């Protein structure tokens, strides 16, 4: 079986404003998703997806010619999968041609509710399989800035910037803060829909041209930061800037006002993971608030 693998993602800076051209610091995760493919002679695509416990959570039989109408699919996952494969064939008409059948198996090693890139890792794996540009496939399917696809393709922290429409500048950077043992990721027990977050942000029609340089400066400063106190000040300033743009209070004010450390939302606000800084392991604090998934920086980030 031929196998491809893509990394998950976390966006440390410039959530939302990355869409407007701000420079973002993005972190590929140790968690990711693989896709294996094996030819067969069944005349169709047999698809199986397994979760982090290696348990089957989705399976479908799809036609090789992809002519199944979306209304004929049995569920939302099948519909979306058919849309992705059809888009891949639009970008490469030779994709799937000449095949007598395929068995495709995906395995992800993280909870798909976590928001670490179930969609982006799938998009990148299918793009690799179809020998097409993953950013183009993303644009035809889920949309978004594309930083998640960049993380899927890189094994080191990156800066990501849309220098022109649909033209990303991706640069690997050294981000290895001496205080990384004081950084923790906490899951908020709530899956956030990134597409809805983007839609809401665009509906606000905020003029970010005057603030983009502020976000660029924070991103560069975080990369070079050597002291936890400076890091905390930078992420707090970042939270304040985003709060003004999206007209929402920072998550620390909403849920963790008594926490002794800085807290930053990651990606679309309101769900998925947050970043917390703490001299000591904050597990007891977050457990007492009802949050049980606390992952250290070293266990999360490549």
Each residue's pLDDT tens digit, 104-153:
999 999 999 999 999 999 999 999 999 999 999 999 999 999 999 999 99
Residue 46, pLDDT above cutoff 60 = yes
N-term to C-term CA, the chain = 26
Residue 261, pLDDT above cutoff 60 = yes
Residue 266, pLDDT above cutoff 80 = yes
Retrieve residue 9's tokens: 């993602």
Rounded Cα gap, residues 146 and 19, in angstroms: 9
Q: Where are the domains of the chain?
A: 2-172, 180-300
Give the pLDDT score at 196: 80
Write the pLDDT tens digit of every residue in 141-165.
999 999 999 999 999 999 999 997 6
Retrieve residue 262's tokens: 């800085």
* 37 φ/ψ angles, rounded to the nearest 5 degrees: -130, 135
Q: What CATH number labels 2-172?
A: 3.30.230.10
Higher pLDDT among residues 203 and 218, named by residue: 218
Give the pLDDT score at 72: 59
Q: Give the pLDDT mean for 228-240.
A: 98
pLDDT class of 166 with cuts at 50, 70, 90: low
Percent of the chain with pLDDT over 90: 84
Residue 192, pLDDT above cutoff 90 = no
* 49 φ/ψ angles, rounded to the nearest 5 degrees: -125, 135
Residue 195, pLDDT above cutoff 80 = no
For residue 290, the tally of other CB atoms under 10 A from its CB is: 9
Give the pLDDT score at 35: 98
Give the pLDDT score at 69: 60
Of the listed ranges 197-206, 216-225, 242-251, the one predicted with least confidence: 197-206
pLDDT class of 270 with cuts at 50, 70, 90: confident
Higher pLDDT among residues 261 and 210, named by residue: 261
Percent of the chain with pLDDT over 70: 97
3-state secondary structure the chain: CEEEEEEEEEECCCCCHHHHCCCEEEEEEEEEEEEEEEECCCCEEEEEEECCCCCEEEEEEEECCCCCCHHHCCCHHHHHHHHHHHHHHHHCCCCCCCCCCEEEEEEECCCHHHCCCHHHHHHHHHHHHHCCCHHHHHHHCCCCCCHHHHHHHCCCCEEEEEEECCEEEEEECCCCCCCHHHEEEEECCCCCCHHHHHHHHHHHCCCCCCCHHHHHHHHHHHHHCCCHHHHHHHHHHHHHHHHHHHCCCCHHHHHCCCCCCCEEECCCCCCCEEEEECCCCCHHHHHHCCCCCEEEHHHHEC
Whole-model pTM: value is: 0.94
Q: Give the pLDDT mean for 216-229.
A: 98
Fold matches, 2-172 and 180-300: no
Residue 275, pLDDT above cutoff 70 = yes
Give the pLDDT score at 271: 85
Q: Give the pLDDT mean for 230-248.
A: 96
CATH of 180-300 given 3.40.50.970, 3.50.50.60, 3.40.50.150, 3.30.70.890: 3.30.70.890
CA torsion sign, 120 to 124 to 130 to 131? positive
- Match 């004081």 to its residue by tokens: 182
Rounded Cα gap, residues 228 and 128, in angstroms: 39
Give the pLDDT score at 50: 98
Give the pLDDT score at 73: 62
Retrieve residue 34's tokens: 């693989």
Angle at 159 between CA 184 and CA 28, to 5 degrees: 45
Q: Give the pLDDT mean for 66-89.
A: 82
């Amino acid at each position: 079986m031929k196998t491809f693998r893509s990394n998950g993602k976390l966006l440390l800076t410039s959530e939302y404003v990355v869409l407007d051209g701000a420079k973002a610091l993005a972190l590929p995760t140790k968690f990711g998703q693989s896709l294996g493919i094996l030819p067969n002679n069944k005349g169709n695509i047999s698809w199986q997806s397994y979760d982090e416990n290696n348990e089957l959570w989705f399976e479908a039989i799809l036609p090789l010619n992809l002519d199944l109408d979306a209304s004929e699919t049995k569920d939302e996952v099948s519909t979306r999968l058919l849309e992705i494969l059809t888009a891949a064939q639009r970008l490469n008409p030779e994709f799937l041609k000449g095949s007598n059948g395929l068995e495709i198996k995906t395995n992800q090693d993280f909870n798909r509710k976590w928001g670490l890139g179930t969609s982006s890792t799938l998009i990148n794996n299918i793009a690799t399989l179809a020998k097409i540009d993953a950013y183009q496939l993303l644009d035809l399917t889920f949309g978004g800035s594309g930083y998640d696809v960049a993380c899927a393709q890189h094994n080191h922290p990156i800066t990501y910037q849309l220098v022109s429409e649909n033209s990303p500048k991706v640069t690997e950077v050294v981000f290895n803060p001496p205080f990384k043992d004081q950084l923790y990721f906490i899951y908020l027990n709530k899956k956030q829909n990134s597409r809805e977050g983007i839609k809401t942000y665009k509906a606000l029609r905020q003029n970010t041209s005057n603030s983009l340089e502020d976000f660029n400066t924070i991103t560069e400063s975080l990369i070079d930061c050597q002291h936890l106190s400076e890091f905390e000040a930078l992420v707090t300033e970042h939270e304040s800037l985003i709060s003004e743009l999206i007209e929402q209070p920072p998550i620390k004010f909403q849920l963790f006002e008594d926490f002794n450390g800085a807290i930053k939302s990651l990606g679309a606000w309101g769900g998925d993971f947050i970043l917390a800084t703490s001299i000591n392991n904050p597990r007891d604090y977050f457990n007492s608030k009802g949050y049980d998934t606390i992952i250290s920086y070293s266990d999360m980030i490549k």
